[in-house]
Amino acid sequence: MSILRYMIAPAVLVAMATTATAEQLSLNEISGYLNAMKTAQSAFTQINGDGSISTGRVYIKRPGRVRFEYDPPEEAMVLASANTVAIFDGRSNQPPETYPLRRTPLSVILARNVNLAKANMVVGHDYDGTATTVTAQEPEHPEYGNIQLKFTANPVELRQWIINDNAGGQTTVILGEMEQGVPLKNTLFNIEMHIRK
């Protein structure tokens, strides 16, 4: 199971609005938006590299925690906590695949203090007349691939992201209406607890 296929669904997680932006958002505005997000949940639609579509819900508790639940017929879940990402495959008897959070694009948005202007990981900052796109990657390991985050303004909201892996694969995640400030228990993100189930 590819980490990029499941990780990506989610990376970051936020609202979907209908308003259009009139100008490019600054990196400081985007950083402020992400830092203000403490908890959030949303439905998502994921377009995989092979053209297939997956759906599910994402739960975020910053810093450092996210949970992606995939709808049937997928039997997968992705958890991030304690600097680790775990991919659970319900069709397998094997323990989950685990990766350091820092090796995934999620680390960009789940950091305790997001500062895109100083992170040295932003390699693209563009505006297409409707949305601002920020392309980020791990500066010391560009081979991990990159994430393109798309935001609209008034108010600032994350609309979607695209993960590009080093093999040319691409996964797009489109977020539904995001609820912020919702109470989310820490056990929702507890990898060890889910392994023992």
User: Is 50 exceeded by the pLDDT of residue 16?
Assistant: no
Residues 6+ apart with CB under 8 A from 25: 127, 132, 151, 153, 156
pLDDT, mean of residues 134-155? 85
Report the pLDDT value the prediction gives residue 4, as an integer from 0 to 100. 46
CA–CA distance, 111 with 20 (Å, rounded to integer)? 27
Structure-model confidence comparison of residues 79 and 107, the more confident one: 79
- Three-class DSSP category at 75: coil
CA–CA distance, 97 with 88 (Å, rounded to integer)? 7
Over residues 38-60, the pLDDT tens digits come to 999 999 999 988 999 999 999 99
Report the pLDDT value the prediction gives residue 197, as an integer from 0 to 100. 63
DSSP 110: H
Q: How confident is the model at residue 20 (pLDDT cuts 50, 70, 90)?
A: very low
Averaged pLDDT score across all residues of the chain? 84
**What's this model's pTM, rounded to 2 decimal places?**
0.82
- Three-class DSSP category at 79: strand
Handedness of CA 109, 114, 117, 120 (dihedral sign): negative
Domains of the chain: 3-196 (2.50.20.10)
